[in-house]
Amino acid sequence: MAQASEDTAARSTTSLLFVVHQHRARRLHYDLRLELNGRLVCWAVPKGPSMDPGQRRLAVKVEDHALAIADFEGVVPEGDYGAGELLLWDRGTWRPLDDDPEEALAQGKLLFLVGGEKLRGRFVLVRTRYRGEGENWLLIKLKDRYATPGEDITLSRPESVVTQRTITDLQLWAEGLREVQEEVLRLAGAVAQPMPTALPPMWPGGRRDPFCDADWLFEVEQRGPRVLAFCDGSAVTLRDRRQRDVTRQVPELAFALAAMRLPKAVLDGVVSIDSARDPGAAAHRRLAETDQAAIERSRAKTPAVYHAFDLLHFGDHSLLGVALSERRRLLDKLLPDRGVVVFVDHVAMDGEVACEEARRSCVRSVAKRAASIYRPGERSEDWVLVEPTPSSEGARSGESSWSPEEAAELGERLRGERQRSLTVRVGGAAVKLTNLDKVFWPQADERPALLKRDLIAYYAEVSPWLLLHLQDRPLTLRRYVDGIGGESFYQRDWHYRVPDYVRLVPIFAPTAKRDFRAVVCDNAATLLWLVNAGDVEMHAWYARCSNDGRGWPEDFAGSEETVEASSLNYPDFLVFDLDPWTKIARAGGAKEAETMRLEALAACKTVAGLLRERLESWGLTCFVKTSGKTGLHLWAPIERRYRFDTTREVARRLAESLAVTYPDLVTTEWRIEKRSGRVLVDYMQNVRGKTLPSPYSVRATVEATVSMPVAWEDLQDVDSRQFALDNVPRLLEAHGDGWAGILDHRVSLERTLSALDMA
């Protein structure tokens, strides 16, 4: 009952507005804004809010703001106060827990209750005695059911709560907006005229069997009512096919479009209801609803999504006479590919891919002549519906063969392709790839800069081997949306909508006391989709979702007891991370750093050999790979009948016994200053949910190195830097997977348990 009462209090109609903006001005920070007596009381929080009661975050009091800024998301122009990107990171309501909040602020301590989409529960702001450039306060999360110790919510939830884009997406959008504003002036067919306030949509004029033609664009038909969006900055009107105003029925879409601040734009698209059994029918019911309470209930249960596929007006120019291919190219620059307002991509010149995608979704595809103009209210043969044809079971299930030859061909195509964004066919699925020219690795020594397309091409080429080590295992993502020089974050919980080919598995997190949705990479399409989202490194769990017929539950959601009893608590491996005694970057010069790096790697090789001998003496087979950085990883496959608490204890005793036998060479001490020239044998990874980089995972190093399996007989001659993004695909083609069939070597731990007095 306590949770219900707090939720009701924080979200009641008498509660006050609460907003957190992520703000990239001179430096990245977060602006906490609380409505009070007709204004927004504001603090700048450099590290952002935290849901961890153990974290005290500095909050610098700044001047009050007008309420109008609360809904703003966009880019503040150069020369204006606070110039830079401003993202709506969280919003909701708050309620003071003091009788007089103004007096509480004056006294320097404000207790309050928050009902945001990310921040929830009780917080306190406390003024400190220290006075810097401004008035310094501390923002502290109080202990309650919403507290999540150890989690940095600014890293796990970086997206806007309105548009789902990140601060980097916002920067790219601003660049795209400037490009569109310049290009519209030069477009053939663009006519200067005022923006219309209503417009009937254009419709397909016929039907055709599946076909491919370079002069046509193909897209999957979206299920739901047609809606045109008329946007003028923060003023947005949504009209259905009969030009009726339906803005009130889908306020979440109007709010998201308003937050984008599009300058006089008219969009054509389809509304669907996310997560509904029949998204189209649910959307039709929502638009027909007149009871506001019913609309709010529907909105809370199943939010709407706007699938935009055409741009009819922009700025002071009508685009009705502009070629469809040009209109869509501009629209792609204006809209995100995730969130509640998304761009519907086409599959250029490939009607078969569009039909296959449509068939899986039980809808049709739509073919549109690339050079066609927009004819409001007309049915035109320039747009036709393409009816799907019967297909094989493999196509219906979304499965198809994916050979090394096909993977290599796609990698070569991606490296040679010059389009910034495109949709490719991967194992029977259509995968949209965006921002391919973004620099992910800056130029280094004699190597040119590596682009996002190079990273995607690499993962395409190694996918036939890598997928064998990822399939059926939840992933922990390591995302670098701005390349390795930008900010990065680990992500276990995928909050957004996913394509049909992506598998999400709900797993209960005991520390957060809630379920999170983990991505499972079962196919090449999912792999490339992940890389397109900025996932540079692949970290797969050591346990699989399936139970191998052993009867363990394959349900991981709802409670700690459920996940403890499930198949995810029974790993396939013992793992050891061998870490050298020093961080090479701390060395005094390049020559000294290289000498230290090679000495550290040589010591790791020696310890790896000793650990291998110990494991093999107990009947275990041990595999080795480079970490991709300065150390080595050892994996020993085991029979899948031991829980993580057992495997972790086995790994601990093995590591500690090795440290006792070789005290001058091996340690289990984490702190670098206490290693004294010894190699850390890290056994702490043997825990459910912890991970090491998977075989063939790229690492976010300057050299774009790869975590590479190696043969024991070759280990002494191996330098971890010799395996990189640009040469590993060729090595795999020539020599195959060094860890192929690793699970065929699983053995019992009984001899090990007996040797360690654990039997």
- Number of CB atoms found within 10 A of residue 367's CB: 25
The Cα–Cα gap between 492 and 151 comes to: 11
The C-alpha angle with vertex 423 and arms to 381 and 313, in degrees rounded to 5, equals 55
Residue 638: pLDDT band by 50, 70, 90 thresholds?
very high
The Cα–Cα gap between 630 and 409 comes to: 33
Residue 8: pLDDT band by 50, 70, 90 thresholds?
very low
Contact 715, 643 (CB under 8 A): no
Contact 601, 673 (CB under 8 A): no
> Any idea what DSSP says for residue 307?
E
- Number of CB atoms found within 10 A of residue 730's CB: 11
> Any idea what DSSP says for residue 694?
P
Q: Residue 280 in 3-state DSSP?
A: helix
Of the ranges 417-426, 484-493, 716-725, which one carries the lowest mean pLDDT score? Answer: 417-426
Query: What is 571-759's CATH number, 3.40.190.10, 3.90.920.10, 1.10.1060.10, 2.40.50.140?
Result: 3.90.920.10
How far are the Cα atoms of 43, 583, 670, 672, 680 from residue 593, in angstroms, in the given order? 43, 9, 22, 17, 19
Q: What are phi and psi of 321, to 5 degrees?
A: -95, 5
pLDDT at 354: 61
The C-alpha angle with vertex 646 and arms to 644 and 647, in degrees rounded to 5, equals 65
Q: Tell me the two tokens of residue 598.
A: 């090679």
274: pLDDT strictly greater than 60: yes
E strands in 444-597: 450-451, 475-479, 489-491, 503-509, 514-520, 535-540, 573-579
Q: What percent of the chain has pLDDT over 70?
A: 91
Q: What is the pLDDT of residues 526-578, one digit of tens each?
A: 999 999 999 999 999 999 999 988 899 999 999 999 999 999 999 999 999 99
Q: Tell me the two tokens of residue 695.
A: 């075989």
Q: What is the pLDDT of residues 674-712, one digit of tens each?
A: 777 899 999 999 999 999 999 999 999 999 999 999 999
Domain 167-391 is in which class? alpha beta
The Cα–Cα gap between 156 and 663 comes to: 39
Residue 13: pLDDT band by 50, 70, 90 thresholds?
very low
Q: Residue 327 in 3-state DSSP?
A: helix
The Cα–Cα gap between 749 and 618 comes to: 8
395: pLDDT strictly greater than 60: no
DSSP element (H, E) containing 314: strand 304-314
Contact 456, 414 (CB under 8 A): yes
The Cα–Cα gap between 317 and 192 comes to: 4
Report the pLDDT averaged over residues 368-373: 95
- Residues 680-705 as b/e (b if ≥16 CB within 10 A, e otherwise) read bbbbbbbebbebbbbbbbbbbbebbb
Residue 446: pLDDT band by 50, 70, 90 thresholds?
confident
Q: Tell me the two tokens of residue 682.
A: 């890290």
Q: What is the pLDDT of residues 411-439, one digit of tens each?
A: 888 888 778 888 888 877 889 999 999 99
Q: Is 571-759 the same fold as 167-391?
A: no
> Any idea what DSSP says for residue 144?
S
Q: Residue 496 in 3-state DSSP?
A: coil
Q: Where are the domains of the chain?
A: 2-151, 167-391, 399-567, 571-759
Residue 311: pLDDT band by 50, 70, 90 thresholds?
very high
pLDDT at 284: 81
Q: What is the mean pLDDT of the chain?
A: 87
Helix 404-416 vs helix 452-470: crossing angle, to nearest 10: 160
How far are the Cα atoms of 262, 502, 535, 624, 682 from residue 459, in angstroms, in the given order? 36, 16, 11, 21, 28
3-state helix, strand, coil in the chain (%, to 5): 30, 30, 40
